Amino acid sequence: MPVVIDGQRMERSLARIAHEIVERNRGVEELAFAGIRSRGVPLAQRLAASLKHITGVDVPVGTLDITLYRDDLMRHPVGPQPLVRRTEIPFSIDNRRILLVDDVLFTGRTIRAALDALIDFGRPRAIQLVVMVDRGHRELPIKADYVGKNLPTSLSQSVRVRLEEIDGRDEVVVEETTS
């Protein structure tokens, strides 16, 4: 299983994205992060730390669990329900620019669910999408605003982002799935 992004490369990508965020929003006023569980959350926290380093401003970070908004819930006649965990958005999203963060952008269905979840919290001025890897194969009209790396893949492959906070090390690997 080839490592396509190592720890150093990931760090540089995140640093670049942090600068892009500042440039594109002309500062960080009214910005807030919403990390999608699980791996969007540490990525959002790292970006927030970078923004603090660059601008000195604390950008709030929230956590979004999109399980209850999935479009494949209740479509399986058998099998357990996906685990639901807490969503924590400890700030008002009204009139803020929300940076939605996830590890991999694939079909776009997770992002669709996340957009629905976010809108239930209020009316943000804008939502921008940050992903570590865009692997293609979209099934919905969704596009990322900030991408760590575009990674052309085939549908038989799986892309795994590992993060220090959850998996003990930073890397992105592409695996051939046997099914």
Partner 1 sequence: MIDTMSRAATTPAAPSTPASAAPTGAAPPVSPVGPAGAAPATALHGRHLLGIADLTREEILLILDTAEAMKEVGSRAIKKVPALRGRTVVNLFFEPSTRTRTSFEIAEKRLSADTLNIAIATSSVTKGETLADTVRNLEALSPDMIVMRHASSGACHLLARICKSRIINAGDGMHEHPTQALLDAFTIREHKKRIEGLKIVIVGDLLHSRVLRSNVLLLNKLGANVWVAAPRTLMPAGIDQFGVTATTNVDEAVKDADVVMMLRIQLERMQGNFFPSIREYFNLFGMTPERVKLAKDDVIIMHPGPMNRGVEIASEVADGASSVILEQVSNGVAVRMAVLYLLAGGGEA
CA quadruple 80, 134, 17, 113: dihedral sign = negative
By beta-carbon proximity to partner 1, the closer residue of 6 and 71 is 71
Task: Report yes or no: 94 and 123 within 8 Å, Cβ to Cβ.
Answer: yes
Stretch that binds partner 1, among 1-9, 10-18, 84-92, 137-145 (CB under 8 A): 84-92
Among 1, 3, 57, 84, binds partner 1 (CB under 8 A): 84
Hey, how many other C-beta atoms are within 10 angstroms of the C-beta on 70? Answer: 15
Please count the residues of this chain forming the interface with partner 1, following the rule CB under 8 A. 24
Q: Does 88 bind partner 1 (CB under 8 A)?
A: yes
Among 11, 20, 30, 116, binds partner 1 (CB under 8 A): 116
What amino acid is encoded at 82 in this protein?
A: P
Shortest spacing between CB 23 and partner 1, in angstroms: 32
CA gap 170, 6 in Å, rounded:
6
> Three-state DSSP class for 33?
strand
Q: Does 65 bind partner 1 (CB under 8 A)?
A: yes
Among 8, 23, 56, 80, binds partner 1 (CB under 8 A): 80
Shortest spacing between CB 42 and partner 1, in angstroms: 19
Q: Does 33 bind partner 1 (CB under 8 A)?
A: no
Strand 31-36 vs strand 171-176: parallel, antiparallel, or unpaired?
unpaired
Task: Report yes or no: 32 and 163 within 8 Å, Cβ to Cβ.
Answer: no
What amino acid is encoded at 72 in this protein?
A: D
Listed in sequence order, the residues at least 6 apart from 155 whose beta carbon sits closer than 8 Å to its beta carbon are 137
Shortest spacing between CB 81 and partner 1, in angstroms: 3
By beta-carbon proximity to partner 1, the closer residue of 56 and 78 is 78
Binding residues for partner 1 (CB under 8 A): 65, 67-69, 73-74, 76-88, 116-117, 120-122
